[in-house]
Amino acid sequence: MNPTTYRTLDAAAIRALVAGLPAIASRLGGPPAQWRVREVSDGNLNNVFLVGGVKGEVCLKQALPHVRVDPTWKMPLDRTFFESEWLRAVQPLAPGLTTEFLHYDPELYVLIVESLSGHTVLRTALMQGARWPGVALRIGTFVAHASFGTSLLARPFEDVFTARRLFSANLALTRITLDLVLDDPYRDHPRNHWHDPALTPIVLDIRSSAATLLAVENLRRRFLSQPQALLHGDLHTGSIMSTADDTRVIDGEFAVYGPIGFDCGMFVGNLVLHYFATPDNAGRQATLHDIAAFWHSFHEEFLTLWTSHETPPPGTLRPLAYGPAARVARQRFMNEIMADTIGFAGVEIIRRIIGYAHTADFDIIADPRQRAACRAGALGFAYHVLEHLDEIRTMADFLRHLAEQGRAGLHEPR
């Protein structure tokens, strides 16, 4: 933090800041005094505002020196820098699937992007019953392009090492992922919480299952030691805004190089949470389809990028061999991503139910006993997945288990 210039901006200060940025000011139109400034912060970490004029609107995000919802939890401001770098890296790779980058202020830690005022946060849309089959497909496309394009398959290793260096300075947010996703839930920690006593026996089972704990150890190692591609790092359904036809990934402040299956797993895990929160069978079926569609689209597009070139891709890892053996090798790589996807989906589900940061999905269930049962179903499913990770070898296996546990309802602690 530069103490001489950083200050938390209010509506007047935002107006003044944007007024000094001619390209953005003219995008809004009209005199600054008439711009509407609306706070829309609903996440845990940052202040977010929409600034609208007669012609257009932009979205302004500013880091606070602490967690927005907990001022005692200090946090470095530079997370907005990493979000801005993430956006600049992936926007050209996945056109139309992120917001447009407009401005970054390194002293105020302010990022300005296009406003998505007609879009809804995907988690909210799902809770309202939206059925948008295109979203999962587009997120598959997004992950395929963003990960392939920042990997050694597409770029000389010098570029990749340089990008890794930049994002591996994102220590504070990587620490949060490690602690909240891959550590706290597996031990007694004051940040964990759950209200429903029905969950406690499952939590105790999870914490005493050697197979589960070893799976988590392995995922932790992979998260920190497989810098395959630039990850979004927090690709849950709250980091996606969408309409039926247009889907955007936002909020890349957790960006870090890591295993591609981490992003896939976050997204799948959050669809599974929605699945267990959905009361009706038709809704659940739709979510099963979304997960399958996401994986299929990611898998196909990634392989297409890898193989469709007349000439080999320009990265350091250009192929040396072709033909059937090369196909097998590529499939092995995709299977590794799939295994990571399944594993990271498991830990994401668990931490969203018993860790620090829960999700709203289950709030649509009015009856507390039914809500507890649905949470227990999700938690038991994730436990089952992590405990049997070696046996769940394909996305089809994963979906079959999900459909079964979804039918079975309440988890019976073993």
Ligand X SMILES: Nc1ncnc2c1ncn2[C@@H]1O[C@H](COP(=O)(O)OP(=O)(O)OP(=O)(O)O)[C@@H](O)[C@H]1O
Helix count (H) and strand count (E) of the chain? 15, 12
Q: Which is nearer to ligand X, 98 or 341 (CB)?
A: 98
- The 169-188 contact track toward a second copy, x by CB under 8 A, reads x-x--xx--x-------xx-
Pairing of strands 120-121, 240-242: antiparallel
Three-class secondary structure of residue 231 per DSSP: strand
Binding of a second copy at residue 68 (CB under 8 A)?
no
Binding of a second copy at residue 165 (CB under 8 A)?
yes
Round to whole Å and give the CA distance between 412 and 414: 6
Binding of ligand X at residue 238 (CB under 6 A)?
yes
Backbone angles phi, psi at 268, to 5 degrees: -60, -45
Round to whole Å and give the CA distance between 211 and 208: 9
Binding of ligand X at residue 117 (CB under 6 A)?
yes
Q: Which of residues 225-244 bind a second copy (CB under 8 A)?
A: 225-228
Round to whole Å and give the CA distance between 414 and 403: 20
Binding of ligand X at residue 127 (CB under 6 A)?
no
Rg (CA), the chain: 21
Binding of a second copy at residue 214 (CB under 8 A)?
yes
Q: State the chain's maximal CA–CA distance in angstroms.
A: 66
Binding of ligand X at residue 261 (CB under 6 A)?
no
- The helix (run of H) or strand (run of E) holding residue 193 is none
- The 307-346 contact track toward a second copy, x by CB under 8 A, reads ---------xx-xxxxx-xx--x-----------------
Which of 101, 32, 3 has the alpha carbon at shortest distance from 60? 101
Round to whole Å and give the CA distance between 339 and 341: 5
Q: How far is the CB of 44 from ligand X (least distance, A)?
A: 3
178 binds, among a second copy, ligand X, none (CB under 5 to 8 A by kind): a second copy
Binding of a second copy at residue 410 (CB under 8 A)?
no
Candidates 39, 217, 300, 404; binder of a second copy (CB under 8 A) is 217
Round to whole Å and give the CA distance between 33 and 26: 14
Among the listed ranges 150-158, 279-287, 290-298, 375-383, the one in contact with a second copy (CB under 8 A) is 150-158
Binding of a second copy at residue 390 (CB under 8 A)?
no
Determine the residue type at 266: M
- The helix (run of H) or strand (run of E) holding residue 258 is strand 256-258
Q: How far is the CB of 28 from a second copy (least distance, A)?
A: 39
Interface size with a second copy, residues (CB under 8 A): 40
Q: Which is nearer to a second copy, 225 or 311 (CB)?
A: 225
Q: Per the structure block, which two tokens stand in for 270?
A: 């959050």
Q: How far is the CB of 175 from a second copy (least distance, A)?
A: 7
Determine the residue type at 272: V
Candidates 24, 37, 43, 387; binder of ligand X (CB under 6 A) is 43
Q: How far is the CB of 244 from a second copy (least distance, A)?
A: 38
CB 233, CB 255: distance < 8 Å:
yes
Positions touching a second copy (CB under 8 A) are 152, 157-158, 160-162, 164-165, 168-169, 171, 174-175, 178, 186-187, 210-211, 213-214, 216-218, 220-221, 224-228, 316-317, 319-323, 325-326, 329
